[in-house]
């Protein structure tokens, strides 16, 4: 399992399983050592692996209880948000080791004091983005594609801490709509625009990588690799260069390699009908088409990127018998 898929599985589990599981697993609110636990002990507990059979960390509940009671007007965060809160808290503790002798409760309050405001800001951010997406899918014009593109985060640092996991997932599910009976109504619109070579739709797809992971990223990679690269190779290279400026070199190449080599969405080639040899043939034909298309681009400013892409593709052929 790749790191991105593992993270996706974790986040889906955190968001979807709900608070009832905490009680059914016997992981009720932790009251132990509330008054005596220090920051050092809290940090050790937050980074230690879960005990056998534990689905959610007991120590998360300790953080949850203090956060909801002292900072969030009694509102209990969902499991995805709680996961992110513990990550923010761990970062705070690492940056403030001189305070580790203080009571854990005091450090939780210090480390998460800005979190409610961040969550509120992020919720408004995602609501604005969903509104832009709704308008685009009602009328997939270049102008509204640009509005949606601008409403999506340019990079992860645009959002304070991605504390509103529910809002982020709601936007992603609205756009990719895998959960709506697998109909992909909205995603199909985006696919059609990408296949037609509409630059705004291509930009939206690239920017979605900033909030996608796992199966969502795999689908974006397949769509761009199969619909954009062979049909509009120059446009692919041009927009990829812009995307590079957004996310940085290392992450850019992660995305680019995924796009270039993803010859089967979720590992499936329905046309192969389960035949391994036919699967290999179809997959390699797709890679070959991409190499041939990119080879037709001779713009001086794109040649270096073109050659890098072709080299990556040549390494992506299936070689098993």
Distance CA 91, CA 163 (A): 14
Residue 55 scores a pLDDT above 90:
no
- Alpha carbon distance 103, 36 (integer Å): 7
What whole-number distance in Å separates Cα of residue 106 and Cα of residue 1? 39
Contacts of 33 (CB under 8 A, 6+ apart): 41, 104
d(CA 211, CA 283): 27
Whether the pLDDT of residue 25 is over 50: the answer is: no
Burial class (CB in 10 A: 0-12, 13-18, 19+), 218: buried
The pLDDT of residue 9 is above 90: no
Q: What percent of the chain has pLDDT over 70?
A: 82
Give the mean pLDDT of 96-117.
96
pLDDT band at 19 (very low <50, low <70, confident <90, very high): very low
pTM, whole model, 2 decimals? Answer: 0.79
pLDDT value at residue 60: 81
pLDDT tens for 128-152 read 999 999 999 999 999 999 999 999 9
Tell which wins on pLDDT, 57 or 236.
236
With a pLDDT cut of 90, the percent of the chain lying above it is 62
The structural domains of the chain, with segments of one domain joined by +, span 3-113, 123-210, 213-321
Confidence of residue 312 (pLDDT cuts 50, 70, 90): very high
Residue 156 has a pLDDT of 66
Report the C-alpha gap between 42 and 169 in whole angstroms.
29
- As a whole number of angstroms, the distance between CA 204 and CA 152 comes to 8
- CATH number of the domain at 3-113, please? 1.10.890
Beta bridge partners of 57: none
């Amino acid at each position: 399992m790749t790191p991105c898929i593992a993270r996706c599985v974790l986040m889906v589990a955190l968001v979807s399983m709900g608070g009832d599981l905490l009680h059914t697993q016997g992981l009720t609110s932790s009251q132990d050592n509330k008054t005596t636990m220090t920051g050092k002990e809290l940090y050790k507990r937050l980074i230690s692996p879960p005990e056998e059979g534990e689905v959610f960390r007991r120590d998360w509940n300790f953080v949850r209880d203090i956060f909801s009671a002292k900072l969030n007007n009694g509102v209990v965060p969902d499991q995805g948000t709680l996961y992110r809160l513990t990550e923010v808290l761990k970062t705070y503790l690492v940056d403030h080791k001189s305070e580790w002798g203080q009571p854990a409760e005091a450090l939780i309050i210090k480390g998460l004091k800005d979190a409610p405001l961040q969550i509120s800001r992020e919720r408004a951010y995602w609501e604005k983005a969903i509104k832009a997406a709704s308008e685009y899918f009602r009328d997939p014009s270049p102008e509204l594609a640009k509005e949606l593109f601008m409403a999506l985060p340019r990079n992860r640092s645009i959002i304070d801490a991605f504390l509103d996991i529910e809002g982020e997932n709601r936007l992603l599910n609205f756009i990719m709509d895998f959960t709506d009976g697998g109909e992909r109504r909205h995603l199909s619109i985006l696919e059609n625009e990408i296949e037609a070579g509409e630059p705004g739709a291509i930009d939206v797809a690239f920017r979605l990588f900033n909030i996608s992971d796992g199966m969502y990223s795999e689908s974006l990679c397949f769509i761009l690799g199969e619909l954009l690269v062979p049909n509009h190779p120059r446009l692919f290279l041009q927009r990829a260069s812009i995307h590079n400026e957004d996310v940085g070199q290392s992450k850019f190449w992660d995305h680019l390699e995924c796009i270039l080599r993803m010859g089967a969405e979720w590992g499936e080639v329905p046309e192969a009908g389960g035949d391994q040899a036919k699967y290999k043939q179809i997959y390699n034909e797709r890679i070959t088409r991409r190499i041939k298309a990119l080879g037709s681009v001779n713009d001086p400013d794109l040649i270096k990127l073109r050659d890098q892409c072709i080299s990556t593709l040549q390494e992506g052929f299936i070689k098993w018998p």
